[in-house]
Structure formats: structure tokens, C-alpha cells
Amino acid sequence: MAKVHITELVLRDGHQSLIATRMQTADMLPICSTLDSIGFWSLEAWGGATFDACVRFLREDPWQRLRQLRRALPNTRIQMLLRGQNLLGYRNYSDDVVRAFVQKSADNGVDVFRIFDAMNDLRNLRVSVEAVKAAGKHAEGTVCYTTSPVHDIPHFVELARGLAGMGCDTIAIKDMAGLLTPYTAFELVRAIRAATDLPVHTHSHATSGLAHMTHLKAVEAGATLIDTCVGAFAEGASHPTTQSLVAALAGTEYDTGLSLPQIEEVSAYFKEVRKKYWQFESAFTGTDTRVLINQVPGGMISNLAVTPTSQIVGTQAALNVMTGARYKSVTNEVKLYLQGRYGQAPGHVNEEVRKMAIGDLEVTTGRPADLLGDELDKLRGEIESLAKSDEDVLTYAMFPEIGKTWLQERAAGSLKPEQLLPPGSAELANAPRYAADEFKITLHGETYHIKLSGSGHADAAQRPYFVSIDGITEEVLVEALNEVAVSTGGDSAPRKTAAAPTAPGQKPRPSHPGHVTAAMPGTVVDVLVSIGQNVKAGDGVLVIEAMKMENEVQAPIAGVVISIYAKKGDAVTPDMALVEIQPE
């Protein structure tokens, strides 16, 4: 009997980590019968960013995908990744929505629910774990691994104990950034096994090059479930290769019992599939040891759009650099974090930073979802004209804007997936690039020397640029919100980037200190002032969504608002004056 079991990740984390979650269901189904016959313990196939990507980019029904996979994989457990009280959306949901979502996921085909909370706040997991058990399914409680002064082995063991106490069937160690080292893994697995006696399941991204060794030591310490991905979608920001681990354990007491030729057949199939998605390839495909220092998770590297918690840290870090001062501009999400609205911070919060960010706003210490009343009926009412099932209501609940658009387009029969570019297409080769590669930027009185050293592949909308700022190399993701292709006929027509904002003259270029601007390209979510209003320096003027985060833009000076150039929904860049304040 196999001592070590494998969870194959190609249908979820593999493509989430390497091609920004873009694999379509049609590319999964043809190989399902082979996948199903191999004997994997489970196939991770749903949840994580797949739900968002289905609705936002592929324009597929994520529930339909789940049902199709269920039919095509009758013999293997289907596993999903669930973000506790956040489910698959980007906020806390009320308990009735959590219960309904878990029940529907179970009804449509999920067997194993890997449940985590980015804060490791167990209060955010309890309701989903209870719901999974109530549905008669497998609850895998998850410890998110990271390194910090407070994240030591006793801390993680305590969390595992808590998960066991809730009734979890297995414990996952989720090493999303590839920071878990082999010998720490050995100690950690041994300690969790001793404390809980539950099977331990390891999930470790290959980003830093440690994960193969980490799994091996974890297995020696008693882990009996490991996550791997077939070679075609393995390594880099993804996971260790299934074939390698199967071969490494073959003939030992840990033998997985899986057939290498069968796995190879699956891998060969996905090798061809991957070529179709070349435009979404991450620039990071090898080993990136810098992650051992900067701690950026694999999912964030290829896909800054859909990994919410790392996004919060990443966007604030970018703002700290781009605005020239740490915490000068603080995203709403960082404010919520510091207010305790996502749960309890694992360590001690720096009160000086908290004060700078939220002033005297109240800090919550209870379970965040306790602040919410039941909301399922309300959501149902909001979308009743478009929703044909509870699944539709839940899709809308996850993504109120794009979910609603998706339901509207489905009703109109106009759902269209984003286009895949044919291999070698000139579109990307001719994509706009900056003409100048070295410049000086003066921002809020500080001058920076910027040099562009290269750029990576565009991830649909975003393209990474590597720049040095005063000699320090940084990666910036640029999303060209006002880029327009000017096609004057013929395939060779040049692409042109509009440098000027929408209608000329509508938003002047900022020219004096009273011109309010955005720190980075984004969309106006809210205008907080009106003409004639008096403002103090630091008062909120606008809310801008940039890189999926909401940032409040503050008045740079005191005065009276004399012009408002921006309105809700406008795509804006730092080149535009959005509001004008006349000093008094």
C-alpha cells in the first residue's frame, strides 16, 4: 500500500501560478479520463483564483466547470482551495453565505475543502469547517506558513491543534512563497503529527528551489500527503514536478505506487496546451532565490490581480516607494487590516504606523464576520432578475460588479472569452514600450533617478518593467488603462499608445500644488468632495482603485475645491489633474 499520496495541482495551482489562471475548461476535459485513472489522492481543480478568472476573463460559469469536471473524474477526489470566511471573494461574508457556498460546492462536486485564512485567525475558519463537516465532506484545515519573529514552530503547532479541535480531517501546511526549508519542514511536520495525530499534507511552491527537498524531509517526518504538479506546469512559481517526486519515492517505504508513464502522458498533453496560453506566461519561470528575502508568494508573481492578501502588502509597498514616503498614502485595505477587520494580526502592530494610517478609528478585536448580519436573502433580492439558481446568486456575491456583468451578458447571449493570441502573433511584439529608458522624476519635491533595465511578458493587461530607482532594482507592473490600438487597416498597421487622457482638455496636466493626482494608474471609485467645499491638507478627496486596491487620495494643500475633473468610473493616470484646490 502506498505510504505517500499525491495531490495533483495542474487543474488549479499549476496554471494559476504560471499562466495567470487562464486555462479553459475545454483544455482540461480531454485528459480527465487519464488523470482519473492514475490514482492521485485528489485533484486540486477548483477555488483559489479559478472562480474569479472564469468569470472575469474566460467568461465561463465556474459552477458549470465544477460539474463538468465532476462528471469527467468519477474516481478521484476533487479538491478546492477556500479562503475561510472570504470564500472566493475579497471580503468577509456572513455565516449564512459561507454555509450556502460550501453546501453548493459540495453539491456540485467538491470532496476535499482546503480551508485557510491569510491571517491564520482560526475564528475565520470555524464556520466553513463546520459547513464542510455538515455536508459530509473532507475538511482540510490549513496553517499558512511564513517566517517572522512570531511565526515559530510552537505558534504553528498551536494553530494545528486548534484546527484538529474543530474537527478537521487533515492538516495542510501551505507554504505559498516557498519559504519553508527542508529541516524546518521536518521539525514542523513531526511536531504537528505529535500534537494532533492527523495526516499532514504539504503544499510548497518551487519558487525558491527548496520545495523538492522540503517535501522529502516532510515525508521522512511523517507527512503522507504532498502536492505536486505534472512537469508541463511545474517548477518556477508553481510546484515540484509530480514525476520527480514519484521517482524519488519509488521503491522506498514511501512509494506512491503511481505509474510514471501515465503521468508522463498527462504532462505531454499539457505541454501542448500551455503553448496556447503563451501570452500569459510569467516572466519568472526559473528559480528565484530573491523570494527568500522579499517573501513574495508564487501566485502573486504571475498574477498580481487575484491574490488578495499579498496584493495588500505589495500595493502598499509600491505606494511607499512611488509616493516617496512610507505610509503617506495608505490603501483602504491596509486601513481595514489595522482596524482588525480581517482578523487578529499574528504579532504586535506598530502603534505609530497604525496611528498614521487610521488615526483614532475604532479597532475591532472580535471575529470580523460577527459584525455582519445574514445577507443571503438580500443578495438574492438584488440579483433576482438575472440569477437562475443559488449558484448564480453566489457568483454575484463573490464579485458584485463582474459577476453581475457576467450574468447580464449570459442573459443577452453575448459572453465572449478574452482572445488568445495565435503563437508568434505580432500583437505582443508590437506592444508599446517606453521610448526613454532613463529619466529623472521629481515627486513631491524629491528627485529620483530612474533607469529602465527591461520588461517581461504582459499578463493580459499588466506588463512588468524592471527599473532601478536610485540604483536599487525594482519590479513595477504597468497597466496601460488608456492604451488604444489605432488600426488603419492591414496587419502591419502600427499600434499607437495614446499619451493623452481621454478627451483632450478634460483633465489638465497637473501644474500646481493644488492639483490632486493619483499615485498610480487606476479607476475612480468615488469622489468625496464637491465644488466650493473647504478642505484641509490630508482630507480625503477621491478614492482610486489601482491594482485591485482602493486608495484614498488626499488633498495636498488646504483650500477650496474649485474644479473636479474626475468622475466615478474614469480611468486615470498620474499625468492627470483630477481635482483642483485653490489655496485660501
Name the residues that contact Mn ion, by CB under 5 A. 13
- Spatial distance between the Cα atoms of 221 and 190, rounded to a whole number of angstroms: 5
- Spatial distance between the Cα atoms of 455 and 560, rounded to a whole number of angstroms: 42
Closest distance to Mn ion from the beta carbon of 46 (Å): 14
**SS3 of residue 138 by DSSP:** strand
In residues, how long is the chain? 584
* Residues 141/112, Cβ–Cβ less than 8 Å: no
Closest CB to Mn ion among 50 and 94? 50
Where are the alpha helices (H) located in 259-331, listed in sequence order?
Answer: 260-276, 291-294, 298-302, 308-322
Nearest to 143 by CA among 110, 179, 117: 117
Closest CB to Mn ion among 295 and 323? 295
Closest distance to Mn ion from the beta carbon of 23 (Å): 15
Rg (CA), the chain: 24
Alpha carbon separation from 481 to 453, 463, 523 (Å, rounded): 22, 12, 9
Cβ burial 482-512 (10 Å sphere, 16+ → b, else e): beeeeeeeeeeeeeeeeeebeeeeebbebee
Instruction: Return the H-helix or E-strand segment holding 247.
Output: helix 242-249
Nearest to 78 by CA among 117, 35, 118: 35
Closest distance to Mn ion from the beta carbon of 110 (Å): 17
Closest distance to Mn ion from the beta carbon of 369 (Å): 24
Closest CB to Mn ion among 204 and 551? 204
Closest CB to Mn ion among 13 and 475? 13
> Cell 499562466 sits at which residue?
19
Closest CB to Mn ion among 306 and 519? 306
* Residues 369/143, Cβ–Cβ less than 8 Å: no
Closest CB to Mn ion among 210 and 578? 210
Strand partners, 527: 542
Give the dihedral of Cα atoms 256, 261, 264, 269; nearest 10 deg: -130
Closest CB to Mn ion among 13 and 169? 13
Number of helices followed by number of strands (H, E) in the chain: 20, 20
Closest distance to Mn ion from the beta carbon of 16 (Å): 7
Instruction: Return the H-helix or E-strand segment holding 6.
Output: strand 5-8
Closest distance to Mn ion from the beta carbon of 374 (Å): 32
- Spatial distance between the Cα atoms of 137 and 573, rounded to a whole number of angstroms: 48
Closest distance to Mn ion from the beta carbon of 288 (Å): 15
- Spatial distance between the Cα atoms of 456 and 438, rounded to a whole number of angstroms: 18
Closest distance to Mn ion from the beta carbon of 275 (Å): 23
Nearest to 290 by CA among 473, 146, 118, 16: 473
* Residues 8/243, Cβ–Cβ less than 8 Å: no
Closest CB to Mn ion among 202 and 331? 202
Closest distance to Mn ion from the beta carbon of 201 (Å): 12
Which amino acid would we find at residue 484?
Answer: V
Which amino acid would we find at residue 520?
Answer: M
The residue of the chain with the least Cβ separation from Mn ion equals 13
Closest CB to Mn ion among 86 and 554? 86
Closest CB to Mn ion among 79 and 551? 79
Q: Supply φ then ψ for residue 459, to 5 degrees.
A: -100, 80
Closest CB to Mn ion among 13 and 391? 13
Q: Which residues contact 316 (CB under 8 A, 6 or more apart)?
A: 327, 330, 331, 334
> Cell 474626475 sits at which residue?
566
Closest CB to Mn ion among 13 and 235? 13
Closest CB to Mn ion among 44 and 550? 44
Closest distance to Mn ion from the beta carbon of 118 (Å): 12
DSSP line for 9-39: -IIIIIHHHHSTT---GGGTGGGHHHHHHH-
Closest distance to Mn ion from the beta carbon of 212 (Å): 16
Closest distance to Mn ion from the beta carbon of 81 (Å): 7
Closest distance to Mn ion from the beta carbon of 382 (Å): 32
Closest distance to Mn ion from the beta carbon of 469 (Å): 30
Closest distance to Mn ion from the beta carbon of 176 (Å): 5
Closest CB to Mn ion among 81 and 157? 81
Q: Cell digits for 155?
A: 505558534
- Spatial distance between the Cα atoms of 55 and 60, rounded to a whole number of angstroms: 6
Residue 483's Cα: distance from chain center in Å?
24
Closest CB to Mn ion among 13 and 580? 13
* Residues 541/579, Cβ–Cβ less than 8 Å: yes
**SS3 of residue 210 by DSSP:** coil
- Spatial distance between the Cα atoms of 276 and 255, rounded to a whole number of angstroms: 35
